[in-house]
């Protein structure tokens, strides 16, 4: 059995973004049904009762998150899990969704940066852009857990989340939501849990969320600061990307526009001791393959660039900062309207 954290802090003083139980499915013929307990009854002393969210299955190992609406409640949740383990109950077989599992460990997540994937399908073709509808739905998910939090986010100039929308067919999308603050994971998952496997309405079209969601990637500002420096950075702009420059819209991802956009967001969300000073970027574009793409919005079309750009930095310190910021871009997005599907980025090298 494992009990893991990513720091050496004690559990009592640790701020958690999430907690996962690691379970191994037991073959039916091996299950000891007389000693099994329902997973939902496990933490029945916690109020509100946790919502159990399946994350992923890999090699028979399942991760299930007991989610609460506020991450501040996780210290009590962790204490209950520890009491259960110390009480010698871990040998019991757990039942969940009519399957038997063996409890093998606990994984604690205290990262600030997360990427969450959710599949959404509809019985009719979806419109070419769902950015505004998904944007509104995300606020609704936060409001389900905490209306005051949702209202607070509405008032922010720089939002701590982004939205990415990938159409896998005319009736199916893969929704990517990224978070830049650890305390947002719990309320978002709590709101999402109310709709997993059920219907929501997007742009007037009934849609159904998949039975599973997945936290596919997480990291922290401290971890990104330790990345080895690269002098050449290749970014792939997977959704239309543009920038505001001198009161106009600039669709070409010039080095200073890309990395100043990222630096502003980094300094807004990173701990104060990890802030970067202002940089007069001297990066070069050494190669690119871009095309413009018009993204239909309610107020009209937004023009942005999609494709890839290779940037080169001759100054070692600028290369170090650009390396960190480019990895941060996977979570923060780049440029304008990143909470409506624009500015989604991948790293190619």
Report d(CA 27, CA 15) in Å as an integer: 36
Count of positions (residues) in the chain: 349
Task: Name the residue with higher pLDDT: 129 or 5.
Answer: 129
More confident residue, 90 or 129: 129
30 — pLDDT class (breaks 50, 70, 90): low
pLDDT for 161 equals 97
Lowest mean pLDDT across 67-81, 118-132, 283-297, 332-346: 67-81
| 265-319 pLDDT per residue, tens | 999 999 999 999 999 999 999 999 999 998 877 777 889 999 999 999 999 999 9
Could you tell me the pLDDT band of residue 77, with boundaries at 50, 70 and 90?
confident
What average pLDDT does the segment 35-42 reach?
A: 74
- What one-character DSSP code corresponds to residue 226? T
pTM of the shown model: 0.89
Which pLDDT score is estimated for 33?
Answer: 53
Q: Is the pLDDT of residue 9 over 50?
A: no
Identify which of 21-35, 99-113, 185-199 has the greatest average pLDDT: 185-199
Q: What is the reported pLDDT for 7?
A: 38
Give how far Cα 306 sits from Cα of 242, 259, 290, Å.
10, 17, 6
What span, in angstroms and rounded, lies between the C-alpha atoms of 264 and 257?
11
Handedness of CA 163, 167, 168, 171 (dihedral sign): positive
Nearest-angstrom CA–CA distance, 113 and 182: 7
Burial 188-215 (b: 16+ CB within 10 A, else e): bbbbbbebbeeebebbebebbbbeebbb
Which band of pLDDT confidence, cut at 50, 70 and 90, is reported for residue 28? low
pLDDT at 6: 44
Q: Where are the beta strands (DSSP E) in 68-160?
A: 93-96, 99-109, 113-122
Token match 């720091």: residue?
7
- φ, ψ of residue 298 to 5 degrees: the values are -60, -35
Distance CA 283, CA 288 (A): 14
For residue 4, list its beta bridge partners.
107
pLDDT category, 96, cuts 50, 70, 90?
confident
Residue 260, pLDDT score: 97
- Tokens 């990513």 belong to residue: 6
């Amino acid at each position: 059995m494992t009990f893991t954290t990513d720091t050496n802090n004690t559990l009592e003083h640790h701020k958690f973004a999430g907690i996962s139980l690691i379970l191994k499915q037991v073959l039916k013929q091996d299950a000891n049904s007389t000693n099994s307990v329902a997973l939902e009854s496990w933490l029945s002393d916690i109020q509100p009762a946790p919502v159990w969210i399946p994350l992923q299955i890999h090699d028979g190992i399942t991760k299930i998150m007991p989610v609460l609406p506020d991450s501040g409640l996780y210290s009590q949740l962790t204490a209950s899990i520890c009491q259960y383990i110390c009480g010698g109950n871990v040998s019991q077989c757990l039942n969940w969704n009519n399957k038997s599992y063996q409890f093998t460990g606990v994984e604690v997540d205290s990262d600030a940066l997360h990427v969450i994937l959710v599949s959404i399908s509809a019985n009719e073709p979806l419109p070419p852009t769902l950015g505004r509808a998904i944007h509104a739905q995300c606020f609704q998910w936060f409001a389900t857990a905490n209306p005051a939090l949702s209202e607070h986010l509405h008032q922010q100039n720089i939002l701590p989340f982004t939205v990415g929308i990938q159409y896998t067919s005319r009736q199916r999308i893969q929704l990517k939501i990224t978070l830049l603050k650890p305390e947002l994971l719990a309320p978002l998952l709590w709101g999402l849990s109310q709709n997993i496997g059920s219907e929501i309405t997007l742009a007037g079209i009934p849609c159904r969320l998949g039975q599973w969601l997945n936290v596919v990637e997480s990291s922290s500002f401290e971890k990104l600061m330790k990345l080895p420096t690269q002098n050449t950075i290749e970014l792939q702009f997977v959704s239309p990307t543009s920038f505001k420059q001198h009161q106009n819209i600039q669709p070409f991802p010039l080095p200073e526009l890309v990395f100043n956009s990222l630096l502003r967001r980094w300094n807004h969300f990173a701990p104060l001791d990890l802030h970067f000073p202002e940089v007069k970027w001297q990066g070069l574009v050494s190669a690119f393959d871009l095309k413009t793409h018009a993204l239909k919005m309610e107020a009209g079309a937004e023009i942005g660039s999609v494709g890839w750009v290779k940037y080169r930095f001759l100054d070692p310190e600028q290369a170090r900062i650009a390396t960190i910021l480019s990895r941060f871009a996977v979570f923060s997005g780049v440029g304008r309207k990143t909470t409506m599907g624009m500015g989604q980025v991948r790293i190619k090298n």
